[in-house]
Amino acid sequence: MNNQFQPDTDSQKNSMINFLLDVGVYKKGTKHLYELSLTELEKEYLTIKQQT
């Protein structure tokens, strides 16, 4: 499998994690943010964005 998109995915995850940390979200259930998949982070990100 080609990993050419890995840096972009990591960058997206880091951006979403930083946003969530800035608004006070540190965990989702029992998982830390860094343990979540990109899809899970996107869902949490969109949920918070809609509230603000």
Residue 5 or 6, more confident = 6
Q: At what angle do helices 6-22 and 38-51 cross, to 10 degrees?
A: 40
Q: SS3 of 1, please?
A: coil
pLDDT of 52: 75
Q: For the residues 43-51, what does the mean pLDDT come to?
A: 92
Residue 52 or 50, more confident = 50
DSSP secondary structure letters along 13-51: HHHHHHHHHHTT--EETTEEGGGS-HHHHHHHHHHHHHH
Q: For the residues 23-50, what does the mean pLDDT come to?
A: 94
